[in-house]
Every structure is written in C-alpha cells, then in structure tokens.
C-alpha cells in the first residue's frame, strides 16, 4: 500500500525536482532621471531656523497676552 504512494523514480534515478531556470525580464527599466545642478534645487538653509523662530515668537505673544489678562503685567 505504501509502495503505491511513492513517486516514480526519474530516469537518472534521483528523486529531485528539475532545475529552476532564472526568470526572464519582460521589460527594461526607465531611463535615468536627468542630472540637476545643485543650484537648480531651492536652498533649504534657514528654513528650520525660520520655522522655530516664528513658533517661539507666537508662543511668546500668547504668553504675554495671558500674563496681561491675569494682571501679571
């Protein structure tokens, strides 16, 4: 009964799966993006500093208005 469930041997006598071939490419990649000079990119220097300074100024104004409202100034 168990002998009926065994696979048939290969002609060479090995019970291994056939070798796997690598996949074939169906298309090529897109062309690379054109090179951009560094001067073409908008400068980011000072943006973070400006955001932090604006935020701190707004918080200072809020603090001043609260202090004035409760009579500390």
Residue 63 to residue 41: CA distance in whole angstroms: 38
Rounded to two decimals, what is the model's pTM?
Answer: 0.39
Interval 44-62: pLDDT, tens: 667 888 899 999 999 999 9
CB within 8 Å of 64: residues ≥ 6 apart: 73
Q: Domain map of the chain by residue range?
A: 45-73
Interval 7-58: pLDDT, tens: 776 666 666 777 787 877 777 777 888 887 766 566 666 788 889 999 999 9
């Amino acid at each position: 009964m168990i002998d009926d469930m065994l696979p048939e041997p290969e002609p060479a006598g090995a019970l291994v799966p056939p070798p796997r071939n690598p996949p074939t490419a169906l298309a090529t990649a897109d062309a690379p993006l054109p090179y951009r000079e560094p001067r073409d990119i908008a400068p980011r220097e000072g943006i973070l500093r400006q955001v932090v300074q604006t935020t701190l100024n707004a918080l200072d104004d809020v603090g001043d208005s609260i202090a004035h409202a409760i009579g500390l100034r």
